[in-house]
Chain A
Amino acid sequence: MPRTLINVPKTAKAGEIVEVRAMIAHPMETGQRMGVNGAMIPRDIVNRFVCTYGSEVVFAADLWPAVSANPFLSFSLRAKEAGVITFSWTEDSGAVHVATADITVT
């Protein structure tokens, strides 16, 4: 399981726009590089990122081989109600890595 670093404010006022950040430790191997003996290093990237707030998808992105290693995403969302914010990263292999954070809305 790769490491993830997420940043969500613990509390927010209802209706407030808050900044959310998410980063995953990942090589984002492009599939274009040569390894030892000229063998191609197979592509291995995170190709999909989804953030849900409660049951609603609030942000999603497709990622491509040109994205750097350890991709960092930052976006904003509007605090509505207390709940769980879930971040998920899907790899080429189909493996999904999930991190969650709670937010309290006052």
Chain B
Amino acid sequence: MRPAVRCFGLAAPLLLAASVAHGIEQGEPRSGIAFASPETRAMQADDTANPGLFWVLDGEQLWAKREGAAQKSCGDCHGAASASMKGIAARYPAFDDKTGQAVDLTGRINLCRTRHQQATPLPHEGKEMLALTAFVGFQSRGLPMAPPADPRLAPARAQGEALFTQRMGQLDLSCANCHEANWQGRLGGSPITQGQSNAYPLYRLEWQGLGSLQRRMRACMVGVRAEPFDYGAPEFVALEAFLATRAKGLPVETPGVRP
């Protein structure tokens, strides 16, 4: 993350000087892949070149693995993921009745682990959770992001929007300063983009591996020298709930590829 800190530091004065805002409300939401190089786009589009598929294949195996005191696999309850999980990732985060809170896909899978498999929750950024979220997300690939019209999600979305527009960190920048006001600009030579959430978890070349949306947001927060929220924090779920409303209609790309 060090290089990111350095280049954000250099770019901050430029960002602050930019006065013309190009809010994305003026145009269509645009996926991060539209800003990527032809090589990166080709890598994402080809399942024999997209390394994210390794996680999808691992997830397929985990789907069938019996776990916990209940000795049940995901498939024992949900059947074939190609049918039962189709479209699910496109409408997450969703509202969970039992906890009365918004949950993202990672949170939901951990609820199934604890509630239904009587197993321990999986670490957020561990190989297994990334494989399961990649596999479940993959079943929605190509479907439009469809945040549910559930009024119970309104508080989380409002909190997410407030966090998105709140300045933070030593560089005193909000997410919106970059991803709303300057998404057509560049930072340290790379496109800033709209910061859309439709391709996660995704393979980032810089990470040399797959990572979650929260890992990406943590990187942005560290970039402005803010203290990032913990993995799984309600603030991150709220941001995800807000990001999903911004990404409405964009095709799910899981597993995406980004530089």
Contacts and interface: CB of A to CB of B under 8 A. Distances in A.
Given A21-B48, A21-B49, A23-B48, A3 B205 contact: no
B49 A68 contact: no
A86 interface: no
Interface string A2-25: 010111000000000000010101
Contact of B208 (A5, A6, A7, A70): A70
Interface stretch (B52-60, B89-97, B101-109, B219-227): B52-60
B130 to A, nearest CB: 13
Contact of A5 (B43, B48, B205, B209): B48
B48 A6 contact: yes
B51 interface: yes
B208 A69 contact: yes
Given A69-B209, A70-B208, A3 B58 contact: yes
A70 B210 CA distance: 11
Contacts, number: 30
A7 B48 contact: yes
A59 interface: no
Interface residues of B, number: 12
Interface in B31-70: 43, 47-49, 51, 53-54, 57-58
A3 B57 contact: yes
B37 to A, nearest CB: 15
Nearest to B208: A69
Interface string A60-95: 000000001110101000000000000000000000
Nearest to A72: B49
Contact of B51 (A7, A21, A70, A74): A70
A19 to B, nearest CB: 10
B54 A25 contact: yes
Contact of B205 (A21, A23, A68): A68
B48 A25 contact: no
Given A5-B53, A25-B54, A68 B208 contact: yes
B208 to A, nearest CB: 4
Interface of B: 43, 47-49, 51, 53-54, 57-58, 205, 208-209
10 contacts: A3-B54, A5-B48, A5-B53, A21-B48, A28-B208, A69-B51, A69-B209, A70-B51, A72-B49, A74-B49
Interface of A: 3, 5-7, 21, 23, 25, 27-28, 68-70, 72, 74
Q: For the complex of A and B, list the 4 residue pairs with the smallest distance between their C-beta atoms, beginning with the closest.
A: A69-B208, A7-B48, A70-B51, A25-B54
Given A69-B208, A72-B43, 5 more contacts: A3-B58, A5-B47, A21-B48, A25-B54, A28-B208
